[in-house]
Structure 1
Amino acid sequence: MRLVTLEDVHAAAAAIAPHVVHTPLLSFDSGLWIKPESLQPVGAFKLRGAVNALSRIPSEDRARGVVAYSSGNHAQAVAYAAKTLGMPAAIVVPENTPQLKIDATRAHGAEVFVVGITERESRAYELVEERKATLIPPFDHPDVIAGQGTIGLEICADLPDVATVLVPVSGGGLVSGVAAAVKSLRPNVRVIGVEPELAGDTTASFAAGELVRWDAHDRARTVADGLRAEPSELTWAHIRQYVDDVVTVSEDEIREAVRQIARRTRIVSETSGAVAVAAYLNRELPAGPAVAVVSGGNIEPEQLASILG
């Protein structure tokens, strides 16, 4: 299995540069900077991988469009990228996707299909067959992983003495790309994945040394709706190669991290985006400057009000 290389990530950076934001590092406290991917045009890091993957579709295939399945942020990203690059898009989302993310996906011109939480992949493959479209999975694709890896390039450029990078984990595309880039540029930097305790399948896999599967309904219990997927064979290979550790955080720790991010940096984070900061606040970490990737800010207003209140 071929892993994404630093050259792949540099090529992705060139491809996506006209369409994504080089997000800044914002001071959280004396030891932590946050990387607010909530500042992307779709409010999440997923735009990086989506633009890179769509930009590499051959011209003769573009008219048939793209299909994606997603819990929300990848849906918006593919819809936005398809609109920007002139392709039709069909997106399959599970029924527990926040309405905010469904509405935003439709607003970008995509056709949205809402299905049961265990049916999103099968329906997407049906649409690919029906339309002869190109599938853009949320994480299980080298072009998607390379696009997410551009975050690692930016972190190393903006904070050369970084010691630890904390990254949310769901399907593993983000942590795979970031870790591949960071470890290639700074082998001594520790890359730590973070996930909710209620969706701690990657932590269990890391401890076991092999993929451990959790039932989708169990993973759906967490408030972090963007972290309910599980790694693929491809992302697991990257995690094993490049990631130093994976830790979990509790539901209360996630909510408190959303509050702390808002109060200390004036940035809105969705619950999924806050897990890296939750780990910084509640787990023992190596000494030295740390960066937490705040992966997105697409949170329902009612949920944000409840957490901040």
Structure 2
Amino acid sequence: MIGIEDVEAAARAIEGHVVRTPTVASPGLSELLGVPVTAKLELLQRTGSFKARGAVAKLLSLTDAERAAGVVAVSGGNHGIGLAVMAGALGVDATVVMPRSAPARAVEVAESAGATVRVAEDMAAAFALTEQLRVGGSTLVHPFDDPVVIAAQGTVGLEFAEDAGELTDVLVSIGGGGLISGVATALRAKRPGVRIWGVETAGAEAMSAALANGGPLPVELSSIVSTLSAPAVSELTYEHVRELVDDVLVVPDSDAVRGVLDLAQHAKLWAEPAAGCLLPAARRILAERAGVRLGLVVCGGNAAPDDVMAWADRFRG
């Protein structure tokens, strides 16, 4: 497991390459939920999500030979965008493998940044193709199963701990678990009394399944939220969550989409369902606890309006 010293070293390494995103009290969300809410706005990060942090940290850690070989990554959208943009800025050739369910905008942005995009039938097939390319000589930049990436994602939590006022509970979305592993590492060191909650969507429950099983295992994916749809978590992220996170909550896709609309209306934030899922999870926590002061890691904003409107129409029907 990584430690706070790894997160602090990552912060020094990526400084100047990424944005120290705002940490703000949200009057709109506080009114909506009835408790003080503070949001960490990673949707304002370069490339529109926290993924830029881990991508550039990994790229900066590579040897000249590894960079020359080019890099490859599998992604439901945001990791691919982050790697494509950061690799382009550093002059490294990148290939991004995405499932067919990935947002069209993610493919377009990755290609416009200079990356080669390969589309696989589903996320399991995308991981398999990525492994083939790695064996063929490309340097893998894994979206979550890498201590360098996890430490860099943890800089989100380091900044949150330094910039937020009083917090009792922090909610973080989980796909493969890299973000929550890093954030929890930072918060346990800097805010040891804070409760940390992971949030997944139904049909993308790799971490919940791992916790129930006593270790990672493959899961069937059916969630619309491609950016949370890891076919399995890693042993590394599982251990971090098992040791550092209070609990993992699972919410329906329909509630995650409702959360996107609530974030737009009440917080004036255009977020994606991977962040929208935090609001229904927060309501569950508030139903059981008093005196809560919420922190939300708004992880990304790369959702096309047409997609969000289509999801809203689908779930209203």
Q: Normalising by structure 1, what TM-score?
A: 0.92
Shift of 1:307: 5.6
Shift of 1:274: 1.3
Q: 1:197·1:251 contact (CA, 8 Å) conserved in 2?
A: yes
Task: State the identity as a percent.
Answer: 37
Alignment-derived partner of residue 228 in structure 1: 229
Distance (whole Å) between structure 1 residues aligned to residue 49 and residue 11 of structure 2 = 16
Structure 2: stretches of 5+ with no match in the other structure: none
Alignment-derived partner of residue 75 in structure 1: 80
Alignment-derived partner of residue 127 in structure 1: 133
Alignment-derived partner of residue 49 in structure 1: 54
Structure 1: stretches of 5+ with no match in the other structure: none
Distance (whole Å) between structure 2 residues aligned to residue 70 and residue 41 of structure 1 = 17
Distance (whole Å) between structure 2 residues aligned to residue 81 and residue 224 of structure 1 = 24
Residue 248 of structure 1: SS of its match in structure 2? strand
Distance (whole Å) between structure 2 residues aligned to residue 277 and residue 183 of structure 1 = 23
Q: 1:258·1:307 contact (CA, 8 Å) conserved in 2?
A: no
Q: 1:201·1:213 contact (CA, 8 Å) conserved in 2?
A: yes
Residue 302 of structure 2: SS of its match in structure 1? coil
Tell me the C-alpha RMSD between the 2 structures: 1.7
Give yes or no for the alignment of 1:151 onto 2:156. Answer: yes
Q: 1:225·1:271 contact (CA, 8 Å) conserved in 2?
A: no
Give the alignment of 1:55-134 within 5 angstroms. Answer: 55-117=60-122, 118-130=124-136, 132-134=137-139
Residue 119 of structure 1: SS of its match in structure 2? helix
Q: Deviations over 1:48-96 (max 9, x none)?
A: 1111111111123322221111111100011111011121111111111
Alignment-derived partner of residue 250 in structure 1: 252
Alignment-derived partner of residue 174 in structure 2: 169
Distance (whole Å) between structure 2 residues aligned to residue 64 and residue 275 of structure 1 = 38
Distance (whole Å) between structure 1 residues aligned to residue 165 and residue 10 of structure 2 = 21
* Letter paired with 2:125: E
Q: Deviations over 1:216-274 (max 9, x none)?
A: xxx2x212221111311111011111111101112221121111111122110111121
Distance (whole Å) between structure 1 residues aligned to residue 63 and residue 206 of structure 2 = 36
Distance (whole Å) between structure 1 residues aligned to residue 141 and residue 245 of structure 2 = 24
Give the alignment of 1:263-278 within 5 angstroms. Answer: 263-278=265-280
Residue 79 of structure 2: SS of its match in structure 1? helix
Q: 1:171·1:235 contact (CA, 8 Å) conserved in 2?
A: yes
Distance (whole Å) between structure 1 residues aligned to residue 279 and residue 14 of structure 2 = 27
Shift of 1:207: 4.0
Is the alpha carbon distance of 1:25 and 1:232 closer, same or farther for their aligned partners in structure 2, counting shifts above 3 Å? same
